[in-house]
Amino acid sequence: MEIALEPGIPTYSGGLGVLAGDTVRSCADLELPMVFVTLVSRKGYLRQSIAPDGSQQESIDPWNPADHAEPLDAAVAVRIEGRPVWILPWLYMHACPHGGCAPVILLDTHLEVNDPADRGITDRLYGEGADLRLKQEIVLGIGGERILRALGFEITTWHLNEGHAALLPLSLLRRHPLGKDEPAATTLRYDAEPVRERCVFTTHTPVEAGHDRFSYDLVQRMMGDFFEIGQLRHIAGAEELNMTRLALNLSGWVNGVATRHAETAQRMFPGYHIHAVTNGVHVPTWTHPAFAALFQTVSPEWAHDPGALRGADHLADEAVWTAHRQAKGELLAEVQHRCSTALDPDLPVIVFARRMTGYKRADLLFSDLAQLRRVAREFPFQVVMAGKAHPRDEGGKALIRQVHEHARELADTLPVVFLPNYEMGLAKKMVAGADIWLNTPLPPMEASGTSGMKAALNGVPHLSVLDGWWAEACEEGANGWAIGSDGGPPAQHAGELYDKLWSTVLPLWHHDRAGWIALMKQVISRTGSRFHSQRMMRRYAAEAYLR
């Protein structure tokens, strides 16, 4: 549903879209013969500003497809509520510096021929209400399949990136009816095997809101003429259409996005075999130019084959620290620009930047202000935060207000700033300019997380709850630190966070500069060399696409 192609195209909400963008970029690097399909989302997701009281102000974030993509000479229609809805494809071509490229098709219903009510279907990412959401998923899944066919692509393997695209295999299934003499109603009258052979499904979250469900009344009204509801119940859930269930039943290879997440998904969906392909990030995209210049001395192959970053331990201390100071200076300039706050480059900066939603616990650091003050008095530091809340996530919006309230309360001892409108461009500055990358989700809700991997490419150690990718990456003290490694209850995480900051992390930063730089180099050599999207895409290609 979302792909973060470049900072000027705001058609993504967070990690899912940024990961899809890194997938496109790696696919081009590796010259994999893939084509990507998503919605054009002409009005973007949301542009965030913050009122003085800390409340999130939302506006649309429009962009002009004609500035970045070219309209293709083709169109297909899908039927929604009995009306034809025409879809125009735009071609966005991602080209990588080595010469590889990856085409991305952006689906657009903003056409004169369409009923005015249907023109806005592809306007806004994750539009309001179940009706619009289902319409968007019809355009994506059914329209996406038809567009590729109309454009002459011969697809051997379909990869459903999250359940939003699950109507695609349903569209394929219609081509495989069983003979008329099969027993009716009580069984599926289609042969799912040929569809399953060709479909791969990646599930991205254990969070309930991430799994779309639609009432069959709605499905009947929107697309009752597409697939008989009685038949749909066999493969998409008896009570309601569950997009995850549909994708699971029609895909022959299913995976979660980290080892821990695959285990969680396996418990959520017993009866299916869930593989694990741990996420990765696109190395040249997320490496600051100053570090990129250093990596060039480690190996000229580093961008294409980031395993070469294992050699980063041999970089000169001075050079690493100079590159870090440059990246940090750029982040602090951004803070000055956006918040008129001058942070001190000679004190450590802890960054927390992610979607603002309950399970990510942006407030964990502020659980006990007295303790936090004690830590900050002994080992001064600064906090930089960012993140958008989904327009309907009241809890997420409340978190943003609380962070602002805490920032005011702590003003005398601990500078805390919140940068509005977290997006790819700002993320690049934050992951490179931090001293410490903080991550405090409530286990097991963080399927993977990727921003800590981006930080690692810039030598920034991860201080994180053991969940998602960190559960398999953490080497205590060698590439960062774990919170909750003893398996204690989440209520203890705040206490452990303060302990670790006070006893280990901040003393190392303040009193052992050589030790800190040695750690930064290990972060690159141990984490940066492993958690990249080249490895991720090679695994998808070898294990899922060519199975």
**Residue 44 touching ligand PLP (CB under 6 A):** no
CA-nearest of 458, 128, 505 to 325 is 458
Nearest approach, Cβ of 315 to ligand PLP (angstroms)? Answer: 25
Q: How many CB atoms lie within 10 A of CB 32?
A: 16
Nearest approach, Cβ of 354 to ligand PLP (angstroms)? Answer: 3
User: How far apart are alpha carbons 504 and 500 in whole angstroms?
Assistant: 5
Under 8 Å between Cβ of 480 and 474:
yes
Binding mask 354-383 for ligand PLP (x = CB under 6 A): x-----------------------------
**Residue 244 touching ligand PLP (CB under 6 A):** no
Tokens of 98: 């080595």
Nearest approach, Cβ of 422 to ligand PLP (angstroms)? Answer: 5
Helix axes 317-339, 289-298, angle to 10 degrees: 160
The amino acid that residue 167 corresponds to is L
Which of 118, 162, 212, 423: binder of ligand PLP (CB under 6 A)? Answer: 423
Tokens of 35: 């084509």
Residues 311, 470, 247, CA angle at the centre, nearest 5°? 115
**Residue 444 touching ligand PLP (CB under 6 A):** no
CB-side neighbour CA atoms (13 Å) of 101: 8
Considering only residues 451 through 470, tell me which ones interact with ligand PLP, judged by CB under 6 A: 451, 454
**Residue 545 touching ligand PLP (CB under 6 A):** no
The amino acid that residue 140 corresponds to is L
**Residue 427 touching ligand PLP (CB under 6 A):** yes
**Residue 245 touching ligand PLP (CB under 6 A):** no
**Residue 88 touching ligand PLP (CB under 6 A):** no
Residues in contact with 84: Cβ distance below 8 Å, sequence separation at least 6, in sequence order = 77, 78
Bridge partners, residue 86, by sequence: 77
Total of chain residues touching ligand PLP, rule CB under 6 A: 12
**Residue 422 touching ligand PLP (CB under 6 A):** yes
Nearest approach, Cβ of 387 to ligand PLP (angstroms)? Answer: 8
Under 8 Å between Cβ of 10 and 39:
no
Segment interacting with ligand PLP (CB under 6 A) among 183-191, 206-214, 366-374, 444-452: 444-452
Segment interacting with ligand PLP (CB under 6 A) among 112-120, 169-177, 362-370, 449-457: 449-457
**Residue 162 touching ligand PLP (CB under 6 A):** no
**Residue 61 touching ligand PLP (CB under 6 A):** no
DSSP state letters, 31-98: T----EEEE--TT-S-EEEE-TTS-EEEE-----GGGT-EE-S--EEEEETTEEEEEEEEEEEEE-TT
Which of 10, 14, 54, 256: binder of ligand PLP (CB under 6 A)? Answer: 14
**Residue 18 touching ligand PLP (CB under 6 A):** yes
Nearest approach, Cβ of 454 to ligand PLP (angstroms)? Answer: 6
**Nearer residue to ligand PLP within complex by CB, 317 or 393:** 393
What are the backbone dihedrals phi and psi of residue 264, each rounded to the nearest 5 degrees, phi first? -60, -45
Nearest approach, Cβ of 305 to ligand PLP (angstroms)? Answer: 22
Nearest approach, Cβ of 17 to ligand PLP (angstroms)? Answer: 8
Summarize as ranges the residues that interact with ligand PLP (CB under 6 A). Answer: 14-15, 18, 354, 422-424, 427, 449-451, 454
